[in-house]
Amino acid sequence: MPIENPRGRQALEISAAFTALAFIVVVLRLYARLHLVRCAGLEDYGIVLAMICSIGLTIAIGYQAKWGMGQHLDDIPPESVRMSLQAFWASLIVYYLSLGLTKTSILLQYLRVFTTRKFQITCWGLMGVVVVYTIWTVFSSIFACVPVRAFWTREHATCINQFAMWFTNAGINIVTDFALIVLPIPVIRSLNLGRRQKIALISIFAVGGL
């Protein structure tokens, strides 16, 4: 039975608001790339896939809220705990996919804009790290427990240390975010532009990296 859950509802509302904002931005981007400049690239397809995963994440959060996310465990019936954990398991997968696809899309954009050999090599190297990290996070989330259903049934199973995995993944995520922000700065600084223009460009790419 669904649970009355104000905290879970607040989490869903926040997630839905940011997802809606991101959706509007993606739609405007696609309109500009497809109808104005008529120059869509792989990065555009990547961001669309990331947006789909982000919508999936919001849906999963909705199911978690429905089945008791944010409530004390003792106040949630066992069946609701199982349903909430199942939705949480799904949310991890689409979350990491969304992160990986977004970062890959940004790096593909960098490759199209900045064409110096040194930058391109560095960019491809970072993309390799992002791809490997994404594959690891997705598969480690799917197979966090063996059998897989033990993640939500809590039956006797072999499970990895999930908290250690989440903290490790968060650390790598922060490092790659920082790398995305820093990567274009040397190239922009070398451009024959005024200081204000350089700062504006760096700020734009920094926002994209975030």
Sequence-distant (6+) residues with CB within 8 A of 145 are: 151, 157, 158, 159, 160
Residue 106: inside a domain = yes
Per-residue pLDDT of the chain (210 residues; tens, 9 = 90+): 555 566 777 888 888 899 999 999 889 888 888 887 777 788 888 999 999 999 999 999 988 888 877 777 667 777 888 888 899 999 999 999 999 999 999 999 889 888 888 889 999 999 999 999 999 999 999 999 888 888 888 777 788 888 888 888 889 999 998 898 888 877 777 666 666 666 666 666 655 544
* 15: number of Cβ within 10 Å: 19
Residue 1: inside a domain = no
Residue 86: inside a domain = yes
Domain total in the chain: 1
Provide the angle, in degrees to the nearest 10, between the axes of the packed helices 117-142 and 78-113: 170
Query: What pLDDT is stored for residue 194 in this prediction?
Result: 63
Find residue 158's DSSP bridge partners: 146
Query: What pLDDT is stored for residue 137 in this prediction?
Result: 94
Query: What pLDDT is stored for residue 200 in this prediction?
Result: 66
Sequence-distant (6+) residues with CB within 8 A of 208 are: 106, 109, 180
Residue 14: inside a domain = yes
Residue 171: inside a domain = yes
Residue 112: inside a domain = yes
Q: Provide the residue range defining the domain that includes 21.
A: 6-209
Query: What pLDDT is stored for residue 207 in this prediction?
Result: 58
Query: What pLDDT is stored for residue 163 in this prediction?
Result: 83
Rounded CA-CA distance 75/46 in Å is 41
Query: What pLDDT is stored for residue 90 in this prediction?
Result: 94
Find residue 159's DSSP bridge partners: 145
Residue 38: inside a domain = yes
Query: What pLDDT is stored for residue 153 in this prediction?
Result: 85
Residue 127: inside a domain = yes
